[in-house]
Structure 1
């Protein structure tokens, strides 16, 4: 492993931590500035931060991360912003999955390193959309790549909110090639689809995986811009909708939509499967699940 790759891995992990800090500060500011509505009289929400540890099968250290979760806030009913840096040896199932995706040499040398940020927010007000964002870097001795994206998940849809969210994504992606946003949008539409319900889980966004152009700096810059797009895409929508009046019917709609979200994450999401298969902290992996949901 070259010193250059070690430096690049450290740089990526540091960026995910920086982005995490920016998002946590912005979300706590939303809590501080929420002065009306049914939850305004309670204390502003704050993140509880827990260090997570991953242990290899032989008992050795295999990395970990920070799990930051806010529950029962004025704006956020539950939101998690997790970062991780894990490493070790991929098990047989993960090796087969990587080989099927075209990762070279994974059967001969199954060592890996991965770092990233993962965020899911479930809101108090049903008119304020849930949201997901993650970006990550993955390394094996014979390959490296980036992945991630963000998507909006309203239970009550507003066309102008969807348009704003997508416009900000496009603005941040266009400097990397004007063909990129349409391609990543289509990828998100395909990835965040629930086949057994014959519907998307939300109004889409952007998504990429296995991004390795051969130019690490260019791919890292793209990954950074996906992360940088998140707050300007999501915060204005939240500020617009967080004071909208809602009733029991709106809440029922929200809880049913959360059921769809939970089904997708437990059945199809690649990150959930990888996290559980590689022994990462289950609470951190399942942070994305809503605090309450309904099925019929």
Structure 2
């Protein structure tokens, strides 16, 4: 499974980067940064930033780059998780059969392969999107973390999801995004989309603001053959992927649905012009995005706890620019487009 997931995320990264670059054929290209981790593993970070430089393009080309900052990263790493990280992880992974009080000091071997992306468009009318898909293994204490032999790990699971964060609400975009994801989920379990949509609404919530980060999508973790605390209901397990093959097929369907879910929205909104006030609102909303990622997000916290973590990759999700205003009145005017967004963020909506 390790090699198959690794190959999948490599190919998916290329597909997504090419699709995003097609929005602006004459514009700047993603920088590809290949890196290795001394403790084990490697990755490729595809990053686009600093796109506000003057442009000397053909007459038919747009006057600005549609993407302000974007990152599509893959990492395929192995090593040893310290006991503190394993104890933290144990609370969310029922299939991890370890006694956290008897862990060896050096921790346990782990392997993870995944793709993570965040796209921050320039136009306030084009939504930010986030997605990630990953496969995780933990082995017995005596196993070499870099051992690629075919064996059954101590525990394995898949996780991931994708979600949309607009500054201005276009219901047709929200419906398209959710419908595409729903169609990708449907062959793998008729109730998967609804359960994972609800999970997404709960996860991407900013408690201190009492609002969601965006309009959601799906989110899942700990998808394996073990009973699942959210997806399986008591003694009547819901139809869902269970074997490693079924779970991998599900994740492949989701990954392949990303470009169809997002690119049509960008083709409609990427070059919509904006006012100074709309840009101001976009930057305030990006401030909320930063707050969630640094204060709330478990994935960011786990990444920063991982020994020799690649900080640049973890913080790649943050926008290039953001704004905080003391007691901003934007969004308080009844009937305004800003207020319409806040209403949806306060009360999650069923889009399909």
Q: TM-score, with normalisation over the residues of structure 2?
A: 0.76
| More displaced 10-residue stretch of structure 1: 200-209 or 235-244 | 235-244
* 1:77 and 2:68 matched: yes
2:2 corresponds, among 4, 9, 12, to 9
Change (3 A) 1:30 1:106: farther
Please name the residue that 2:190 is paired with: 178
**Any idea what SS the aligned residue of 1:31 has?**
coil
Please name the residue that 1:229 is paired with: 257
Tell me, in whole angstroms, the C-alpha distance in 2 between the residues paired with 1:241 and 1:290: 18
Where does structure 1 lack aligned partners over 5 or more consecutive residues?
1-7, 33-42, 56-60
Q: Is the 8 A contact 2:72 2:117 kept in 1?
A: yes
Shift of 1:106: 6.6
Q: Which has the larger Rg?
A: 2
Aligned ranges 1:112-261 → 2 under 5 Å: 112-141=110-139, 142-213=154-225, 214-261=242-289
**Any idea what SS the aligned residue of 1:197 has?**
coil
Tell me, in whole angstroms, the C-alpha distance in 1 between the residues paired with 2:47 and 2:135: 22
**Any idea what SS the aligned residue of 2:198 has?**
helix
Deviations 1:148-186 (A, max 9, x none): 000000011111110110000001100011101000100
Q: Is the 8 A contact 1:13 1:116 kept in 2?
A: yes
* 1:276 and 2:304 matched: yes
Please name the residue that 2:97 is paired with: 104
**Count of residues in Structure 1 that have an aligned counterpart in Structure 2:** 274
Please name the residue that 2:46 is paired with: 68
Q: Is the 8 A contact 1:115 1:136 kept in 2?
A: yes
**Any idea what SS the aligned residue of 1:280 has?**
coil
Tell me, in whole angstroms, the C-alpha distance in 1 between the residues paired with 2:35 and 2:293: 21
Please name the residue that 2:345 is paired with: none
Tell me, in whole angstroms, the C-alpha distance in 1 between the residues paired with 2:196 and 2:214: 15
Q: Is the 8 A contact 1:23 1:231 kept in 2?
A: yes
Tell me, in whole angstroms, the C-alpha distance in 2 between the residues paired with 1:106 and 1:139: 17
Where does structure 2 lack aligned partners over 5 or more consecutive residues?
52-64, 140-153, 226-241, 326-352
| More displaced 10-residue stretch of structure 1: 18-27 or 238-247 | 238-247
Q: Is the 8 A contact 1:255 1:293 kept in 2?
A: yes
| More displaced 10-residue stretch of structure 1: 86-95 or 156-165 | 86-95
Choose between structure 1 and 2: higher strand proportion: 1
Deviations 1:192-247 (A, max 9, x none): 11111100000000110000034111000111111111111100001111222211
Question: What is the RMSD computed on CA atoms of the aligned residues?
Answer: 1.3
**Any idea what SS the aligned residue of 1:207 has?**
strand
Please name the residue that 2:78 is paired with: 87
Tell me, in whole angstroms, the C-alpha distance in 1 between the residues paired with 2:99 and 2:11: 31
**Any idea what SS the aligned residue of 1:113 has?**
strand
Q: Which runs of 4+ in 1 moved over 6 A?
A: none
**Any idea what SS the aligned residue of 1:155 has?**
coil
Change (3 A) 1:240 1:280: same
Tell me, in whole angstroms, the C-alpha distance in 2 between the residues paired with 1:104 and 1:30: 47
Q: Is the 8 A contact 2:43 2:74 kept in 1?
A: yes
